[in-house]
Structure 1
Amino acid sequence: MFMTTGDLQRSHMIKTVVSATEHTMFESDAIDQFEGFDDLIDKVKADLMQKAAANDGDGLIYVNFNTEVVRMSVAPRFLVVTGYGTVVKLA
């Protein structure tokens, strides 16, 4: 199973597009917790790989990640990572 942010320079068939989202809540006593994005990205990568395997894919191309801090009006802040990519089967 492979994952790339670009194109694949060999024959392949596009199977589907998959996405995954993970989040975590900010600790109220800490000021800067952006290192939490690293763990969330790793979790999203694992989720994308599982979804690619479930769709009989050999890998993912054009993988992208979006990171954001979500602020709710009365609730705490959340770190959110969303990833998506195209599942392909090698010819």
Structure 2
Amino acid sequence: MFMSTEEVNAGHTIIGIVSATSRIMLAADEIDQYQMFDQLIEETKQKLTKRAKLKDGDGLIGVHFNTEVVNVSVAPKFLVVVGYGTVVKLDK
């Protein structure tokens, strides 16, 4: 299974689009732990790969990740990563 932010230079058929979200709640003493986005991106990539396999895809193209810090007035901060991409099947 491959994943790319660009197109592929091989014949392929578009199967569909998949998306995935990962999040983590930060405790009060962890409010500046933004390096945790790396962990969340890896988790999101694994979820995207699993969903692409369920669609019988060979890979994902046009993959993007959005990161966000969510502040909730009565709770700690959340770090959220949303990923999405196009599932493709390579031509044989």
If the length of structure 2 is used for normalisation, what is the TM-score? 0.96
Instruction: Quote the Cα distance in structure 2 between the aligned partners of 1:66 and 1:55.
Output: 23
Aligned to 1:83: 83
Question: Which residue pairs with 1:17 in the alignment?
Answer: 17
Which residue of structure 1 lines up, in the alignment, with residue 64 of structure 2?
A: 64
Residue type at the aligned position of 2:43? K
Q: Name the amino acid aligned to 1:79.
A: L
Distance 1:80 1:48 in 2: 15
2:33 aligned residue = 33
For 2:20, the aligned partner's letter is: A
> Residues 31 and 77 of structure 2 are in contact (CA less than 8 Å); yes or no, is this contact kept in structure 1?
no
Superposition RMSD in Å = 0.7
1:22-50: per-residue Cα shift (whole Å, max 9, x none)? 00011211341001101000000000000
Structure 2: gaps spanning 5 or more residues? none
Identity %: 56
2: CA distance between counterparts of 1:31 and 1:57? 38
Give the whole-Å Cα distance in 2 for the aligned partners of 1:71 and 1:53. Answer: 34
Match of 1:29, SS?
helix
Equivalent residues, number: 91
